[in-house]
Every structure is written in structure tokens, then in C-alpha cells.
Structure 1
Amino acid sequence: DVARPDRIVFTPELPKTRSGKIMRRLLEDIARGEEFGDVSALRNPEVVGEIESTVRRGDD
């Protein structure tokens, strides 16, 4: 068997720290439907809500 994702979600931007690192843990939390912490320290905190709503709607 080959490992493959269950779903792919396209987003215009990924959540990044101020130093430019992608917040993979945050993306995993959103995908699992889990609560995530404070995102105000991100470079682009507004994208988190956009990604979360896209995942909830089921848009791919």
C-alpha cells in the first residue's frame, strides 16, 4: 500500500510564524477538528479562520 492523504484542501495561504515557518501542528489540529491555541502571534492569523471554514464546509 502507498500512503496517501484522505483529503486535500487548497488554500490561498498557509499559517506562518513571524519567522516564516509553516505552522504544521495548527494545520493538523484544524484537520482533526481539535481546538487550537492563540494564533495572534502568527504573521497571518486571518488565514486560520479561512482554512478552518473551508475544512468545515468540505470545499476541496
Structure 2
Amino acid sequence: NRRFAPSAEFAANAVVTAGEYAEADADRPAFWAKQARGLLSWSKDFTQALDWSNPPFAKWFVGGEVNAAYNALDRHVEAGHGDRVAIYFEGEPGDTRTYTYAQLTEEVKKAANAFES
């Protein structure tokens, strides 16, 4: 039952606050619906955050559709973050490569076009 409170500086920079924990505890599906709508771009919005009608099988974001590549890359470029590093790669012999969001988006498009053709 011991607790160790974070420093004031650490708490001030927290991504998740105590208020958000309380909100999630009060209504988990509503909390996650809010998070999903705020953090992802949906090509088709979901109609139900959680379908728990057949335990133990849960269905999250029922009826929703997302484009994973768009959410991982394109939206960052559109938001003006194309020059930020998306991936740092370091191989076993010490070789390195850095991809920005814009570079990685172009590589993904090339691969998608190759698959499509």
C-alpha cells in the first residue's frame, strides 16, 4: 500500500493526468472513444466503442475504419512535421539510416504502387 508521489516537475509534464484516470475509471468505453477520435483519423467513424456482448471476445470501435499508413505517416506530413525523424535504423555492423516522415511516406507510396502494379 506504499505510494511514491512524483515530483512537481514530473507531474507538470505528465501526458496522462489524474483527472484522465478518473474519467477512464468512470466510463472506460467513452474514455477510449474520446482518445480514438482525438488521436486517429477515421475514414469511417465507429458506431460503438466497445461491444462486449460475447465474452471473452471484445470488439473495439465497431464499424469504424482507419487507414493505418495514413495515421502513421501522411497526417504527420500534412501537419507540417514531414522533416521530423520517423525511424532511426541501426544495423548489426553499425550501419545507420534515418528516415523522415516525408521520406518514409514516399517509400511507402513506391512500395504500394509496386504491389498494385
Please, what TM-score do these two structures have when normalized by structure 1? 0.30
Which protein, 1 or 2, shows the higher relative CO under an 8 Å CA cutoff with sep ≥ 6? 1
Higher share of residues assigned helix: 2
